[in-house]
Structure 1
Amino acid sequence: MATALREYLVYADGSCLGNPGPGGWGAVIRDPDGVETELNGHDPSTTNNRMELMGAIEGLRATERGAHVVVRSDSRYVVNSMTLHYKRNKNHDLWKLLDAEAAARHVRFEWVRGHDADPINNRADELAVMGANGRLVADGALPEKKKTRATARGSKTDDSAAEIELMGRLKPGESIRECAACGAKFVSPGGGNENDFCSHARCQLEARGR
């Protein structure tokens, strides 16, 4: 009788207070027995993309070599490079580390929508923001538990209904777009590439750091 595949689940995230600026990474690791471990780190001068990479690197390092691992991240920068082999123009030192950690395991990268209904992804985000502010789990700091976006905003059905109603209220030139960083829907005034990103601070940092 075949046994179910035992695998680790890693949620990784990054945050930066300026681009460059003080940054942090966060990771939540769930082992095959369901035990969760929370990690984060700090860099005094970095970029958002580097912290996204560090979250994935350190999350993988917390798993056994040779293990099956699913890495979930709301960074298309990380996930698309690892799954679609996008060209890497910067951060070659960290890409080398991530490639090495992934090669030592059976890894599958999955993109998740940021700042949405996934409580573990939201937790990784909290850890990353803590890290950017120099508050580390290793030093005894713990993130406050918050309500998920799904609880605060209602169901996806409610969001869809709101989008349909909003379509009839858009001003000339405005459109509803999906943020290129977190995937959330937002009203864009149109125009250049910067309007492919919502107004959330982390998404604007990614937009302006490209």
Structure 2
Amino acid sequence: MKKWTEIPNIELYSDGGAEPNPGKGGYGVILCYKGKQKEFFESFKLTTNNRMELMGVITGLEKLKTKSNVQVYTDSKYVIDGITKGWAKKWKSNGWKKKKNGQAKAINSDLWARLLNVIYKHNVEFNWVKGHSGHTENERCDTLASYGIHSTELKEDNGYEAKKSNTEQKININTSNTNKEKVKVEKEGDNCRKCNEPVVKKTRKKTKKIKPNQTYYFEYILLCPSCKTMYLTEDAKREITTENKLFE
């Protein structure tokens, strides 16, 4: 005779974060079953708040060895809305793009894929709890996540696609221009050759001082608001004639 097996009822509490964001990250998880609790945390060198929130829930579910009824408790609207509002399923059906036939990628698609996969193995219900409101398990998960953030044993978040910082962009641009013709800055909105910030058009103030034999002046300049580099263009050049000698 086949033995009937009861599906266990599990409570999963999770919290995660990064300091700064992006920065060192960690998550904390508590699994509860029949009055017993198991808690754990992990640490990462470079990640984001949302990735840690996702990874906490994912890891907690992946630790379950058998199909379970799981009540997930998290203060992350990002995680809950991504599942309950069908965003993750839609992104998956779009080939992990935000819109069908669109170009914009769905952020954290590697973790959303893992979460969808593990959810199908269980009966999962998501519950939102207000963070830092005295909820015992949520506060404990926050503490565990903090342990992770401040741990010295940090892992690599291999799925995290970090956006290049402004400094990295500047370095790459300066390197790519080495031994090449410099990109011309000719109009407002063009990128500064030094720091890659868009330049702005500044009308020059009229001056009474004109050098001897000066035949032209620049009506405006292109100025980088970041590094203050100034560019003079042919389009801004004005010939000094009898009619426009207002500067004398």
Q: TM-score, normalised by structure 2?
A: 0.50
Shift of 1:65: 3.1
In structure 2, the CA distance between the partners of 1:68 and 1:61, relative to structure 1 (3 Å rule), is same
Q: 2:121 aligns with which of 101, 104, 121?
A: 104
Shift of 1:61: 1.6
Find the residue that maps to 2:35 and give its secondary structure: coil
Cα deviation code 1:9-55 (max 9, x no counterpart): 00011010111110001101001x21100010011000000000010
Which residue identity is paired with 1:42? S
CA–CA distance in structure 1, aligned partners of residues 8 and 134 of structure 2: 25
Greater than 3 Å deviation, 4+ residue runs: none
Contact 2:7 2:67 in 1 (8 A): no
- Segments of 5+ residues of structure 1 without an aligned counterpart are 137-210
What residue in structure 2 maps to residue 17 of structure 1? 19
Cα deviation code 1:43-91 (max 9, x no counterpart): 1000000000010011112223311111110000001111112366300
CA–CA distance in structure 2, aligned partners of residues 5 and 78 of structure 1: 25
* Aligned pairs (5 A) from 1:158-169: none
Larger Rg: 2
Shift of 1:6: 4.0
1:121 correspondence with 2:138? yes
CA–CA distance in structure 1, aligned partners of residues 84 and 7 of structure 2: 21
What residue in structure 2 maps to residue 28 of structure 1? 30
In structure 2, the CA distance between the partners of 1:13 and 1:135, relative to structure 1 (3 Å rule), is farther
Find the residue that maps to 1:43 and give its secondary structure: strand
Q: 2:111 aligns with which of 86, 94, 108?
A: 94
Contact 2:7 2:68 in 1 (8 A): no
Identical columns (%) = 36
CA–CA distance in structure 1, aligned partners of residues 63 and 38 of structure 2: 9
Find the residue that maps to 2:87 and give its secondary structure: coil
Number of equivalenced pairs: 132
Contact 1:8 1:63 in 2 (8 A): no
Cα deviation code 1:112-137 (max 9, x no counterpart): 1101121011101110111111168x
In structure 2, the CA distance between the partners of 1:24 and 1:7, relative to structure 1 (3 Å rule), is same
Which residue identity is paired with 2:110? D
Find the residue that maps to 1:117 and give its secondary structure: coil
What residue in structure 2 maps to residue 42 of structure 1? 43
Contact 1:28 1:37 in 2 (8 A): yes
What residue in structure 2 maps to residue 145 of structure 1? none
Contact 2:17 2:26 in 1 (8 A): yes
- Segments of 5+ residues of structure 2 without an aligned counterpart are 1-5, 92-105, 154-248
CA–CA distance in structure 2, aligned partners of residues 73 and 118 of structure 1: 11
CA–CA distance in structure 2, aligned partners of residues 77 and 64 of structure 1: 26
CA–CA distance in structure 1, aligned partners of residues 66 and 35 of structure 2: 18
Contact 1:70 1:109 in 2 (8 A): yes
What residue in structure 1 maps to residue 82 of structure 2? 81
Deviates more, 1:42-51 or 1:55-64: 55-64
The structure richer in helix per residue is: 1
Q: TM-score, normalised by structure 1?
A: 0.59
CA–CA distance in structure 2, aligned partners of residues 85 and 130 of structure 1: 32
CA–CA distance in structure 2, aligned partners of residues 130 and 98 of structure 1: 24
CA–CA distance in structure 2, aligned partners of residues 28 and 135 of structure 1: 22
What residue in structure 1 maps to residue 195 of structure 2? none
CA–CA distance in structure 2, aligned partners of residues 66 and 123 of structure 1: 26
CA–CA distance in structure 2, aligned partners of residues 117 and 5 of structure 1: 31
